[in-house]
């Protein structure tokens, strides 16, 4: 693949120089290893990238278990809103590696995005499921709910919490202190 600063796959943009990932124009938080894995996958789109090649990309010269790779891929999927059972971005090839499913374009030009305005600080519209409110869309943008749904990990902070420990342990399969 050509060496450009940006790797663009649909609404997913990876910046190689600043080591940033954005989806629908919003920053996606990824750890360093997960970023390197995503970069290795995006550099070889639509082809199988073996586990050995991914280990060499993220953990060069280190011996790590396959569960570390699985955990890093899970982190990427959660961050970009992909599902392992019905993949649209990263496909698992069992026992061999992973495949990036979207066509990728390498470019030195910064991808076109919506102009910055003060109101862009609250761009998510969770009720409608789109990335930008209708007043800030550019004409011709394809921001249907199926394309720009917020990643599921954005909602974890609103998850219900247990009121007390007794309720939590009563619902667990086994008590942690009784083995």
pTM recorded for the entire structure: 0.64
pLDDT at 145 over 80: no
Domain covering 1-111 in this structure, CATH number = 1.10.10.10
The residues spanned by each domain of the chain are 1-111, 120-179
Q: Own/partner pairs for 70-75, CB < 8 Å, 24+ apart?
A: 72/31, 72/33, 72/34, 72/37, 73/34, 73/37, 73/98, 75/30, 75/31, 75/34
- When pLDDT is averaged across residues 93-111 and rounded to a whole number, the result is 93
b/e map 81-92, b = 16+ CB within 10 Å:
bbeeeeeebbbe
Mind listing the pLDDT tens digit for each residue in 43-97?
999 999 999 999 999 999 998 999 999 999 999 999 999 999 999 999 999 999 9
């Amino acid at each position: 693949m050509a060496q450009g600063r940006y790797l663009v796959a649909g609404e997913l943009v990876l910046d190689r120089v600043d080591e940033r990932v954005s989806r629908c124009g919003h920053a996606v938080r990824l750890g360093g290893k997960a970023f390197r894995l995503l970069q290795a996958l995006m550099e070889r789109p639509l082809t199988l990238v073996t586990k050995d090649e991914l280990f060499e990309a993220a953990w060069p010269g280190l011996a790590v278990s396959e569960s570390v790779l699985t955990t890093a891929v899970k982190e990427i999927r959660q961050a970009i809103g992909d599902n392992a059972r019905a993949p649209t971005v990263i496909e698992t090839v069992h026992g061999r590696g992973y495949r990036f499913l979207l066509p990728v374009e390498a470019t030195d030009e910064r991808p076109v995005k919506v102009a910055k305005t003060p109101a862009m600080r609250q761009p998510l519209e969770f009720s409608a499921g789109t990335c930008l409110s209708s007043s800030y869309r550019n004409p011709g943008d394809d921001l249907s709910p199926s394309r720009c749904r917020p990643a599921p990990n954005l909602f974890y902070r609103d998850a219900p919490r247990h009121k007390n420990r007794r309720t939590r342990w009563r619902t667990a399969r086994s008590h942690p202190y009784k083995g």
